[in-house]
Amino acid sequence: MTGNFVLFLIVAAAVYFFLMYGYPHIRRLMRGKGVVYIEPEDLEKRIGEKQDMLMIDLRSSVDFYGMFGHIDGAINLPFEAFMARIVETADRLAGFKETPVVIIGIHDEKEVFKAYTVLKQKGFSDVSILNYGISRWLRRGLPTVERNVRKD
């Protein structure tokens, strides 16, 4: 009986580690090899150098203005609103299709990859995803606009 329990613990630990560490990497590879990521420190450097770019935060308004705040200069465009607007306005944005665009999500959710793909299909040439989203930005101790602060 003890041997079966030890075997169960070993299998459970292996499954846990696969789901926590292996599966996210496999899922990322399945979404596409050509996806461009930007590391939080590189994005912070671009912001500090005041480089011309558009940062689109796909999180809900509650999350954007919530406890952890948002990256200064990012615009909040929740995923559903983003999808509706890009379909309607992509053709009118022809002059802005060379502007670098950074897509920001919570972590690595499928909506971020969908937004990236749509922008590339609509002709935007310089699109990237914040690697592991706002969660990695925060884990690296990078600054956010204080929570509950709206810039109106």
Q: What percentage of the chain carries pLDDT values higher than 70?
A: 87
Distances (CA, A) of 89 to 84, 105, 148: 9, 22, 29
- Structure tokens belonging to residue 11: 């299998």
pTM over 0.85: no
Amino acid at 50: K
Q: What are φ and ψ of residue 101, in 5° steps?
A: -125, 130
pLDDT for 31 equals 61
* Cβ–Cβ < 8 Å for 119, 86: yes
Report, at the CATH architecture level, how domain 34-139 is classified: 3-Layer(aba) Sandwich (3.40)
pLDDT digits 0-9 by tens, 109-138 = 889 999 999 999 999 999 999 999 999 999
d(CA 71, CA 59): 12
Question: If DSSP codes are grouped into helix, strand and coil, which group holds residue 128?
Answer: strand
* Cα Dmax for the chain: 70
d(CA 18, CA 118): 30
End-to-end Cα spacing for the chain: 65
d(CA 61, CA 35): 26
pLDDT digits 0-9 by tens, 67-105 = 889 999 999 999 999 999 988 887 777 778 899 999 999
**HSE (side-chain half, CA atoms, 13 Å) at 43:** 33
In this predicted structure, the answer to whether residue 10 has a pLDDT above a threshold of 80 is yes
Amino acid at 36: V
In this predicted structure, the answer to whether residue 23 has a pLDDT above a threshold of 70 is no
pLDDT digits 0-9 by tens, 28-65 = 666 667 899 999 999 999 999 999 999 999 999 999 99
